[in-house]
Amino acid sequence: MPTVRDVAERAGVSVATVSFVLNGTKPVTPATRQRVESAVAELGYRRNELARALASRRTRIVALAHPTGEHRFGSSTPDFVTSAGRAARSRGYHLVLWPVDTDGGELRELLGQGLVDGVVLMEVRMEDPRIGVLRTAGTPFALIGRTADPAGLVHVDIDFDRSVAIALDHLQKLGHRDIALVTARSPLPDYGPKVRTRAAYERLCAERGLTPQLYDCDPTAPAGRALVPELVERATAVVLMNEYATFGVLTGLAHAGYVVPRDLSVVAFMSPDMGALADPPLTVLHSPGPDLGRLGVEALIDQLEGTAPTEPALLPYVFEEGRSTARVRA
Amino acid sequence: MPTVRDVAERAGVSVATVSFVLNGTKPVTPATRQRVESAVAELGYRRNELARALASRRTRIVALAHPTGEHRFGSSTPDFVTSAGRAARSRGYHLVLWPVDTDGGELRELLGQGLVDGVVLMEVRMEDPRIGVLRTAGTPFALIGRTADPAGLVHVDIDFDRSVAIALDHLQKLGHRDIALVTARSPLPDYGPKVRTRAAYERLCAERGLTPQLYDCDPTAPAGRALVPELVERATAVVLMNEYATFGVLTGLAHAGYVVPRDLSVVAFMSPDMGALADPPLTVLHSPGPDLGRLGVEALIDQLEGTAPTEPALLPYVFEEGRSTARVRA
DNA sequence: ATGAAAGCGCTAACAA
DNA sequence: TTGTTAGCGCTTTCAT
């Protein structure tokens, strides 16, 4: 592996000059620039990022901190992680994966290693001890998700208000007024997406004069199935933020002789791919996962490079119409 | 951030000694070791991994190279990536994500940066140009998946022979002899898992005196649905290595008035979670994704540290019985 | 516009 | 057993 010295020698300049042309740090005569560039090309030189990091005190590595545990991600995570990786690469950064516990201990340990310039924090809790750790370490960070009070924190998240509004708009346009919401029981008492979705639903129902019907059930098919009698009794449409229960509801309906969307309109929070597995294909709201991953990384890097101050971005779930919703029956 | 020098001063020893106790590189008196350790604790010292990497010529960073493109991963990828990350961490390594094109160009570029000690290559093709790139760069690597001729390459992969055998054993024990296999049409002509699964199926059918019935259809529900007439006509059981088509087959059967498993036994290659979405819950073979991720990383690190020579590991899909298979009808 | 030289924080000969 | 010191390959003042 050739080094800057090899390049410098070959080009007949000093290593400083080589560095200047490589980084565009200082003006250099076109002639010498040319010489350096040929030397680089001829030797197949590629700068050692590690040495650069050490000397410049900027590693150009960022971490994606995600919970270690068995807490299952939303199904959009793969796109999520790889899109974060792509975003980092396209800005010339590397993305390392940091599986860390939620109390911040492991995070503190890793930050001490000085390997990364900043951290993207996933699966942010309403009160998240990892944020204190990042603050005291003085490490720049961006959140995917947000705390109870995210003011002043660089973050990107789903716009739950808009998302619920989109679902309600769609159903109300079809004449529905008895619209239930089903969320997933979760081990985390203060899981942001759920808390915010329920709050948005209640607020919007109040604004629109609808009677809220809130259900919270285990993320399993049987739990969804158990809901069916009450749903068909009380609602004409249901919004399901609970992937597994959704399929339980569907089979429950089928077994009881009900037909979707004739007897119940269904909107589900899940990927269109997954919604397509149902019969009929479901009208879905799907997570803008890849966008969130990309935006989270970009917000962090903008911050690191002191570019734009990066407004917090809130993206709604993306609506995709299937055939599981229909005009309410007279 | 304190440095080795601060620690050395505080402990009244040289930086070399500090390094020795930190790395266990050389014998040190219990007394001085003690002094160094207290100094470390008191100062909250944590070694700068970057500097260590540069000086020791070992970065303790490994890359997970995965295809950039829109090629959709098997659904087990999230576990996969995070388990790789965990495995790396538990050995004291960092894992960086490298989204790279399949022709190896970007990989070569990244290797030149000298950031990583080795690479875990995902989604390996039967003929994979990235392997040549890694070889000429002299970078150690491990494959997840394998080339057409994987002899001599460190790799872990699914044992397709065993997997198909498990499926056939199960169905034959239930009396089935007309067992179809459905794979997914793919843009990659030589997609290893598919090629190997089909080959295993044909070989095992021959050995067992069964008549092979091979289908290859698009990975969509409608494509699966279109298969139904022929399947019920010719087979009593089907093995589906095509997630989306599986659900098409199921709805197709339901719409035509057939009942699973009475009229057709179904074994699907998918996660149990996904299989549970179907009605009845499917008997599945699911990818040992997390194990593959972990083993791939471990095989690479073993190689880097010159530990065990690491035998190639072949793991079968994991069988999980649902209620979609039954004894063949008389 | 270019060069000399002092580090970045650590490891690892080599000496003592 | 411990210390001295020369790097690792690069960036970045500070001179010129």
Q: How far is the CA of B246 from the C1' of D4 (A)?
A: 70
Residue with tokens 């990384």: A297
CATH code at B41? 1.10.260.40
Tally of helices (H runs) and strands (E runs) in chain B: 13, 12
Residues B11 and B151 in one domain: no
Look at residue B52 and tell me if it is in a domain. no
Q: How far, in Å, CA of A107 to CA of A131, rounded?
A: 10
Residues B166 and B282 in one domain: yes
| Interfacial A residues in 198-237 facing B (CB < 8 Å) | 220-221
Please indicate if any CB of chain B lies within 8 Å of the CB of A277.
Answer: yes
Q: To 10 degrees, the CA torsion angle through A300, A301, A305, A310?
A: -50
Residues B147 and B167 in one domain: no
Tally of helices (H runs) and strands (E runs) in chain A: 13, 12
Is the pLDDT at B73 greater than 50, yes or no?
no
The mean predicted confidence, pLDDT, of chain B is 93
- Bases of chain C with protein Cβ within 7 A: 1-5, 7-13
**Distance from A92 to chain B by nearest Cα, in Å?**
10
Is the Cβ pair A277, B77 closer than 8 Å?
no
Bridge partners for A240 per DSSP: A182, A268
Is the Cβ pair B244, A59 closer than 8 Å?
no
Q: Which residues contact B14 (CB under 8 A, 6 or more apart)?
A: B8
Q: How far is the CA of A6 from the C1' of D8 (A)?
A: 15
Q: How far, in Å, CA of B284 to CA of B318, rounded?
A: 8
Is the Cβ pair B61, A221 closer than 8 Å?
no
Is the pLDDT at B304 greater than 90, yes or no?
yes
**Distance from A112 to chain B by nearest Cα, in Å?**
6
Bridge partners for B216 per DSSP: B183
Residues A225 and A248 in one domain: yes
Q: How far, in Å, CA of B148 to CA of B163, rounded?
A: 19
Q: Which candidate in B77, B113, B117, B246 is best for mutational testing of the A interface (most A CBs within 10 A)?
A: B113
Is the Cβ pair B78, A81 closer than 8 Å?
yes
Q: To 10 degrees, the CA torsion angle through B196, B198, B203, B207?
A: 130
- Structure-block tokens of residue B24: 């266990």
Please indicate if any CB of chain A lies within 8 Å of the CB of B78.
Answer: yes
Determine the pLDDT at residue B77.
60
Residues B262 and B190 in one domain: yes
> Residue type at B29?
T
Determine the pLDDT at residue B307.
77
String of b and e for B146-156 (b: at least 16 CB within 10 Å)? bbeebeebbbb
Residue with tokens 């004409």: A236
Out of A50, A86, A273, name the one closest to residue B68 (CB): A86
Determine the pLDDT at residue A75.
47
Is the Cβ pair A1, B53 closer than 8 Å?
no
Please indicate whether residue A322 or residue B274 has the higher confidence score (pLDDT): A322
Among A210-214, B67-71, B209-213, B225-229, the minimum mean pLDDT is found in: B67-71
Residues B281 and B133 in one domain: no
Residues B109 and B125 in one domain: yes
Using N-to-C axis directions, what is the helix angle for B15-23 and B4-11, rounded to 10°? Answer: 100
Q: Which domain holds residue A15?
A: 4-47
Please indicate if any CB of chain B lies within 8 Å of the CB of A48.
Answer: yes
Look at residue A321 and tell me if it is in a domain. no
- Bases of chain D with protein Cβ within 7 A: 1-5, 7-13
Please indicate if any CB of chain A lies within 8 Å of the CB of B89.
Answer: yes
- For residues B83-101, give the mean pLDDT: 96
> B317: burial class by Cβ within 10 Å (0-12, 13-18, 19+)?
buried
Determine the pLDDT at residue B220.
87
CA distances from residue B117 to B80, B94, B303 in whole angstroms, order as listed: 21, 10, 10
Residues of chain A with pLDDT under 50: 73, 75
Is the pLDDT at B70 greater than 60, yes or no?
no
Look at residue A15 and tell me if it is in a domain. yes
Pick from A190-194, B78-82, B124-128, B316-320 the range whose average pLDDT is largest: B316-320
Domain total for chain A? 3
DSSP letter assigned to residue B39: H
**Distance from B204 to chain A by nearest Cα, in Å?**
31
Q: Where are the beta strands (DSSP E) in chain B?
A: 61-67, 94-100, 118-121, 141-144, 155-158, 179-184, 213-217, 237-241, 265-269, 283-286, 313-315, 318-320
Q: How far is the CA of A116 from the C1' of D12 (A)?
A: 21
Determine the pLDDT at residue B277.
82
Residues B99 and B240 in one domain: no
Residues B282 and B295 in one domain: no
| Interfacial A residues in 21-40 facing B (CB < 8 Å) | none
Out of A48, A73, A277, name the one closest to residue B221 (CB): A277
What are the chain B neighbours of A84 within 8 Å (beta carbons)? 97
Look at residue A53 and tell me if it is in a domain. no
Residues A66 and A153 in one domain: yes
CB atoms near residue B237 (< 10 Å): 26
Using N-to-C axis directions, what is the helix angle for A289-304 and A77-90, rounded to 10°? Answer: 30
CATH code at A208? 3.40.50.2300
Residues 21-50 in B having a C-beta less than 7 A from any atom of strand D are 26-29, 31-33
Determine the pLDDT at residue A77.
60
Look at residue B325 and tell me if it is in a domain. no
Look at residue A323 and tell me if it is in a domain. no
Backbone angles phi, psi at A118, to 5 degrees: -170, 170
- For residues B185-198, give the mean pLDDT: 89
Residues B30 and B65 in one domain: no
Determine the pLDDT at residue A69.
67
- Structure-block tokens of residue B124: 């390996």
Residues B282 and B303 in one domain: no
**Taking the mean position of all CA atoms in its chain, how far away is CA B82?**
11
CB atoms near residue A218 (< 10 Å): 16
Bridge partners for B184 per DSSP: B217
| DSSP codes of every residue in A89-133 | HHTT-EEEEEEE-TTSHHHHHHHHTT--SEEEEPS--SS-HHHHH
Q: How far, in Å, CA of A298 to CA of A287, rounded?
A: 18
Q: How far, in Å, CA of A309 to CA of A302, rounded?
A: 7
Out of B47, B66, B115, name the one closest to residue A82 (CB): B66
Look at residue B110 and tell me if it is in a domain. yes
Look at residue A325 and tell me if it is in a domain. no
Alpha-carbon Rg of chain B, whole angstroms? 26
DSSP letter assigned to residue B27: -
> Residue type at A250?
L
